[in-house]
């Protein structure tokens, strides 16, 4: 298939590469960061020179743009949607507002364009090896037709219901991950402050009742190295937390723990611009600085 790729960041680039390896024709929209685009071009992708012309050729428009304003700008203000043919697919795989993506889908469906809204979880490593969890919302017939394409990037693919339902699952997942990361940081900081080695404590907790996925494969490369290169940027996690809190408000659901986590992440994000660009595990810094310790030890 001919796939137009919007968004070649830490997730979009490896996913576009998998589409290439699967034999699809991939057309890449130039991005403010040229390096990912140049790498994909060197591997066989094509540069989009005329967005409308590319849209008229596309079987699929795939988006990993960060949020709905960017998506709607490309689709409706820059004219991509107007050039797409009826029966083509718009495939959104980034995390956005459930209500917002439903409105976008309605506008596209009025033009006869199919829509799958399929956010993913797993981070850049799973994006690179095609083992992401995919939460796909949309018409069942459309989902079944494009399931092989979703399986190119997804190790586990779930049909969650109508457009927007996958976003609800994804927001709940990320909301929980945010709380778990903060809880990990809080517990590890207590132990280190009390005199136990952070790596030893992490190893013991991971085989005990407090074990969790982030403690297993995220924290060893971030907090335990005192390194916060983004696997998932704090600014993106904060966006997802805010969307989850908004969803809770709309549904009348209390968020006692999540509300506290929201304030912690917001505090860290407001400290300086660098924190917003760092991995979301940088939330641990507020605990470590308050306690006067480093979980990774002296650095």
- C-alpha distances (whole Å) from 110 to each of 49, 105, 113 are 27, 9, 7
DSSP character for 77? I
The half-sphere exposure of 196 on its side-chain side, counting CA atoms within 13 A, is 14
102: number of Cβ within 10 Å: 17
Whole-number Å distance between alpha carbons of 93 and 33:
20
Q: At what angle do helices 12-21 and 34-42 cross, to 10 degrees?
A: 10
Using alpha carbons, select from 232, 212, 210 the residue that is nearest to residue 222: 232
Q: How many CB atoms lie within 10 A of CB 195?
A: 7
Say how many Å lie between the first and final Cα of the chain, rounded: 50
Catalytic pick from 21, 125, 126, 170? 170
- Per the annotation, the verdict on 125 as an active-site residue is no
Distance CA 33, CA 10 (A): 11
Phi, psi (deg, nearest 5) at residue 157: -120, 130
Strands 89-92 and 120-121: unpaired
Cβ atoms of 10 and 124 closer than 8 Å: yes
Q: E-strand spans in the chain?
A: 2-6, 25-28, 46-47, 60-63, 89-92, 114-117, 120-121, 132-137, 154-161
- Token pair in block for residue 76: 């409706």
Question: Catalytic residues, which ones?
Answer: 170
């Amino acid at each position: 298939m001919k796939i137009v790729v919007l968004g070649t960041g830490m997730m979009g680039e490896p996913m576009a590469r998998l589409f290439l390896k699967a034999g699809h024709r991939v057309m890449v929209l130039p991005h403010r960061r040229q390096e990912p685009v140049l790498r994909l071009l060197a591997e066989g992708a094509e540069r989009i020179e005329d967005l409308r012309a590319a849209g008229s050729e596309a079987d699929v428009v795939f988006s990993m743009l960060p949020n709905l304003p960017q998506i709607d700008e490309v689709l409706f203000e820059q004219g991509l949607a107007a050039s797409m043919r009826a029966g083509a697919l718009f495939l959104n795989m980034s995390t956005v507002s459930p209500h917002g993506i439903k409105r976008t889908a309605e506008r596209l469906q009025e033009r006869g364009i199919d829509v799958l809204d399929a956010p993913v979880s797993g981070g850049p490593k799973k994006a690179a090896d095609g083992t992401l969890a995919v939460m796909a919302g949309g018409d069942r017939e459309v989902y079944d037709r494009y399931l092989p394409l979703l399986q190119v990037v997804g190790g586990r693919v779930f049909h969650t219901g109508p457009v927007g339902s996958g976003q609800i699952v994804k927001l709940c997942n990320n909301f929980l991950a945010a709380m778990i990361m903060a809880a990990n940081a809080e517990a590890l900081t207590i132990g280190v402050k009390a005199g136990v080695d952070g790596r030893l404590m992490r190893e013991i907790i991971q085989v005990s009742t407090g074990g969790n996925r982030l403690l297993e494969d995220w924290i060893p490369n971030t907090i335990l190295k005192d390194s916060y290169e983004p696997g998932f940027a704090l600014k993106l996690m904060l966006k997802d937390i805010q969307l989850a809190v908004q969803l809770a408000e709309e549904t009348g659901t209390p968020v006692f723990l999540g509300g506290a986590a929201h304030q912690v992440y917001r505090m860290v994000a407001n400290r300086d611009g660098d924190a917003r660009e760092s991995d979301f595990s940088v939330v641990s810094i507020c605990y470590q600085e308050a306690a006067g310790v480093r979980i990774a030890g002296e650095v």
